[in-house]
Amino acid sequence: MGSLHQILSPDFLLRNSVYTSVLVGCACPLVGVFLVMRRLIFMGVALPQISSTGVAVALSIPLWLGFKPTDHASHALAFTGSMAFSLAAILVLAFLERRGRGQPEGRLGTAYVVAAALSILLLAKNPYGELGWLDMLKGEIITISNLDLALTAATLTLVLAMLGFFYKELLLVSFDRELAFILGKKVVFWDVVLYVLVGLTVSMAVLSVGPLIAFGFLLIPALTAHTLARNMRQFTGLACLIGGVAAFCGFWIAYQWDLPVGPTDVVLLGVFYGAGWAASRAVRRSS
């Protein structure tokens, strides 16, 4: 319990990392709920990796032009590239998904593997790639500055506020598009709003915790909550709770046992998913 007391202390050296982990853990599942409802789970796999490719491209452009940006400029470029690639990818992939052409799993799988390979190639040829940019892509949760924490909190707070304010519209176009058309809702507009919020969340999560952990928090809490919830209120609430608890407990376990924080979080999410699945099976058998 000594380590828990240290983590909860306001003087804890890594408090920014704890706050960032919990913020990402609570916000990503709320976006992931809509991906699960729209049956775009595989998109949640590809988007974080595509976002990291946007980071690699944006950070490489200044070097192609012959100068090295400052740390603050690098973060701004990384976020811009991440957001641009995430938003472009989700709009194109979602459009192709709605048109029903080709195999969506094939497109997403191709996008994922090509994006991963391109990221490696770009940074491998970059003389500054080993000097901090690879850490940015991996999401070094233990190195969160006050500025990074403030930007993460502001961005994710904006996303959560938009999700809360337009919850009914986003839920309707995600759950029953035909009814939304009948009721006169601007379905395409609300699709774009949701995709922008997804892009913002993925971009900030990738920069804060890396693509692997972003994917884990984006989908696993939502999938876990889906096995347990009986209505939408429980679905969103459980997803947020599972993500937040996993983020905090994962950090605690990693700090206690000197483990990498991100992978610990993802493994813990997997344990929660297995427990949720077992609990739902037990309830169905008893009823």
Domain positions in the chain are 2-280
End-to-end CA distance of the chain, in Å? 39
Angle at alpha carbon of residue 179, lines to 93 and 35, rounded to 5°: 35
More confident residue, 245 or 136: 245
d(CA 7, CA 252): 7
Q: Please determine, for residue 74, whether its predicted confidence score (pLDDT) is greater than 90.
A: no
Query: Rg of the Cα trace of the chain?
Result: 19
What is the rounded average pLDDT of the residues 169-182?
Answer: 84
Report the predicted TM-score, pTM, of the whole model to 2 decimal places. 0.87
In the predicted model, what is the mean pLDDT of the chain? 83
Residue with tokens 């704890």, as numbered in its chain: 18
CATH for 2-280 (3.50.50.60, 1.10.3470.10, 3.40.50.300, 3.40.50.2000): 1.10.3470.10
Asked which of 118-122, 224-228, 244-248, 281-285 is least confident by mean pLDDT, the reply is: 118-122
DSSP letters, 55-111, are HHHHHHHHHHTT----HHHHHHHHHHHHHHHHHHHHHHHHHHHHHT-S-HHHHHHHH
DSSP state string for 169-238: HHHHHHH-HHHHHHTT--HHHHHHHHHHHHHHHHHHHHHHH-HHHHHHHHHHHHHHHHHH-SSHHHHHHH
Lowest-confidence segment of 81-90, 175-184, 210-219 by average pLDDT: 175-184
Q: Answer yes or no: is pLDDT of 8 > 80.
A: no
| pLDDT beyond 80 at 143 | no
Average pLDDT over residues 216-225: 94
Of the chain, the percentage scoring pLDDT greater than 70 comes to 87
Structure-token match 């012959």, residue found = 66
Q: Which residue has the tokens 């994006």?
A: 115
pLDDT tens digits for range 79-137 = 888 888 988 888 887 777 666 555 666 777 778 788 878 877 777 666 555 555 555 55
pLDDT of residue 40: 78
At 1, the pLDDT band (50, 70, 90 cuts) reads low
What local confidence, expressed as pLDDT, does residue 247 receive? 94
Integer CA distances (angstroms), 109 to 95, 115, 128, 192, 252, in order: 16, 10, 29, 23, 34
Mean pLDDT of 201-212: 86
Handedness of CA 158, 24, 16, 57 (dihedral sign): negative
Q: Per this entry, what is the length of the chain?
A: 287
